Amino acid sequence: MRPRRLVAAATAVGLVAAGLTATTGPAAASSGDYSALIRRASYGVPHITAQDFASLGYGVGYVQAEDNICIIAESMVTVRAERSRFFGTTGEAAANVTSDLFQQKVIDDRVVERLLTGPRDGVHSPSDEVRDQMRGFAAGYNAYLRRTGAGHLTDPACAGKPWVRPITELDLWRAHWTSMVRAGSGAVTDGIVAAAPPTGGAPARPGEITGQLPAPEAAAVVAARDGAPAGVGSNAYGLGRDATASGAGMVLANPHFPWDGPDRFYRMHLKVPGRYDVEGAALVGDPLIEIGHNGRVAWSHTVSTAHRFAFHQLTLAPGDPTTYLYDGRPRKMTVRTVTVQTPGGPVSRTLYDTHFGPVVVVPGVFDWTAGTAYAISDPNAANNRALDGWLAMGRAKSVADLRTTLDRRQFLPWVNVIAADRDGTALYADHSVVPRVTDDLAATCIPATWRDLYADSGQAVLDGSRSRCELGRDPDAAVPGILGPAHLPTLVRGDYVTNSNDSYWLANPAQPLEGFPRIIGDERTARSLRTRIGVHQVRQRLAGTDGLPGTRFTPANLWTVTLGNRAYGGELVRDDLVELCTAHPVATASDGTRVDLTAACAALRGWDLRVDLDSRGAHLFTEFALGGLRFADAFDPAAPLTTPSRLAVDDPRIRTALADAVRALDGIPLDARLGDIQTEPRGDERIPIHGGHPGAGVFNMTIDPLVPGVGYPKVVHGTSFLMAVELGRNGPSGRQILTYSQSANPNSPWYADQTRLYSGKGYDTIKFTEQQLKADPNLVTYRVGERRT
């Protein structure tokens, strides 16, 4: 493939043009060419226009490589099963062997290749438009790498590294598949690789791993949603005509994702004239907008509470732990040996599959014994519909259109959708991919041993010995094995819908959603403090009791509300906690140490009940809340947003928790400004960061581990892409920001600019229309392209 036209970003911030001047003309392409027009706006945000989806993908791949090539390259190492080879296997890298074995099995089984066969209708197999987008992305990435050279990259994370190589479409599809299964088989990778029968077979070959390997803890498996630690997720509002000042729909997108690594978002605006025009964000390495808006509809996602896989309890044949009984007949497991390369030589592992899916072990809960084993079915392992689904979302003209897309494609792997349209209709839907465990199937097919687990958590363990206990098919489902739209919660309103990672039940408290299968989520149970403050903020804004002018939402006051940084837990209990520690100024910590609480009482008394940069004592309440926020009153399903609310002052663990918090903060002033101790590093700069932990009832989530004697020097998770968009008659408008900035490269001009902006609660504006974009004083235009092969 010979480059025909490769142009670097000739920007006002010092990127050097490569041989050609920047251009302001339209993106024109002759047949057989990739050609994309890139217009970099403030903060490096690319607005990409192309005449077809292959060229659009090319432009996306090129600019993402310019900004985040190391992130994409490392993701390719993962899906090529080469982490052990390049990143080692000792210490923190020990998990690389497990990852490689899992990914190598995918490669050996040609899982992704099989998902790319079939009718290209976007449901049974990806459409030509999406395939073109992926093909173009790979070509654009490779063009940037070829122009720059791996040895001359400016990002020290991967400059000159042997694992920075050209990528293929298949690499990208494998990375996409890995994202689809992160809440299913990807959440129990350890358990799949660790699974081994209880009796030895043939002697191990050199390099083969045998016996029991580390496997996931039971609690982590039961709680698995998106493959990430508990507590992560997102906030979102869909605001309808009765909640906005203009009567047009508005959406708040507030996903909480990691600030580093492959799950970073990337802002962009993508356009194929007459066919696709969407602004928003996608995860780095993905070619289409996943959260954003077009001219008439906006949407966001939050992590759903539904479980993504079902366990199947296998009854094993006597004397043969790799054969299971199915309707009384024996079925052999599929046994295969997978081999990966490590610095110490090849390593092999024997893995086991059933017709349900892989065999999994979770020690102490799902053990492989002489008589019983467990397999999982993961419907997202066959989900090849997602990119076409997001493409269709981007083309929706109304909430009704969006619902049609959700019903027909059923592609969302592990998230809810919250949306609104220009006419002021708001939508909540958990139309994610959920194993088809109906109430009837659960009552008939979950063995007595596992019924409490299902009732408590929604995690289903089905009888794998009977064909009648297969997942089956709903008549309205897009594919077999998943719940159809009739079984999934959906709510359309003219006022508002909201979700902060609790279940669907109170998407709008005025119209609770009830009667859905337990595997999707719980009903009539206590809501998190973050959910409660999320609803209170909407209600108080509409009632005009939050201190802001007016009684309905505008983009400006939606931004203010979102970054108001209220700590709802503190609003509920701070005064009682101060009264308690004033009356009992000495308490015993968990380690038996006697702790003077006088300074803690003073710090809490002076705290402003927020997690702003100037808030003093906020960190003390956070540490207390994480260790001992207990209530005296019980949850009342008739008052779900106000109960529980009273501090359990008679519970001795309250004083112990406060003493523990004081001990944990030894060396850090208890009345320190939050902005002095909660920061994000950018080179030698430490940028103050506001926000707080959801355990303290904070809506604007910031999770950063406490470093003893220092504070919170690095954000690991929290508010990432933030968007408040209104779908007005003259086009979308509003505010947006990427909290950790557009590029992970410390030598990029877009490494810290939005992070500083976020620190001051600033924002970038929506730039969807030509008028909005051309008004940007920092706009720089260039074109990238080459002849296709």
Q: What is the DSSP string of 29-77?
A: --TTEEEEEEEE-GGG-EEEEESSHHHHHHHHHHHHHHHHHHHHHHHHH
Distance between CA 144 and CA 770 in Å, rounded?
A: 27
pLDDT of residue 204: 57
pLDDT of residue 2: 32
Distance between CA 767 and CA 539 in Å, rounded?
A: 30
Q: What is the pLDDT of residues 709-747, one digit of tens each?
A: 999 999 999 999 999 999 999 999 999 999 999 999 999
322: confidence class by pLDDT, cuts 50, 70, 90: very high
Higher pLDDT, 150 or 9: 150
pLDDT, average across residues 509-525: 98
- The pTM for the full model equals 0.94
Maximum distance among all Cα pairs of the chain, rounded to whole angstroms: 80
pLDDT of residue 510: 98
**Do residues 430 and 304 make contact, with C-beta atoms less than 8 angstroms apart?**
yes
Answer yes or no: is pLDDT of 227 > 60. no
Our answer to whether residue 234 is catalytic in this structure is: yes
213: confidence class by pLDDT, cuts 50, 70, 90: low
Six token digits for residue 650: 């008679």
What is the DSSP-derived secondary structure letter of residue 511?
S
Tally Cβ neighbours within 10 Å of residue 775: 12
Cβ burial of 537 (10 Å; 0-12, 13-18, 19+) is buried
Six token digits for residue 24: 């302001």
pLDDT of residue 92: 83
Q: What is the pLDDT of residues 261-270, one digit of tens each?
A: 999 999 999 9
Answer yes or no: is pLDDT of 198 > 70. yes
Distance between CA 47 and CA 30 in Å, rounded?
A: 21
SS3 450: helix
Q: What is the pLDDT of residues 439-479, one digit of tens each?
A: 999 999 999 999 999 999 999 999 999 999 999 999 999 99
Answer yes or no: is pLDDT of 32 > 90. no
Distance between CA 22 and CA 724 in Å, rounded?
A: 32
651-666 burial, b if ≥16 CB within 10 A, otherwise e? Answer: eeebbbbbbbbbebbe
Q: Where are the alpha helices (DSSP H) in 379-471?
A: 386-395, 399-409, 439-445, 451-457
Six token digits for residue 649: 């002052």
From 234, 304, 432, 759, active-site residue: 234
Opening angle at CA 313, ends 307 and 316, nearest 5: 155
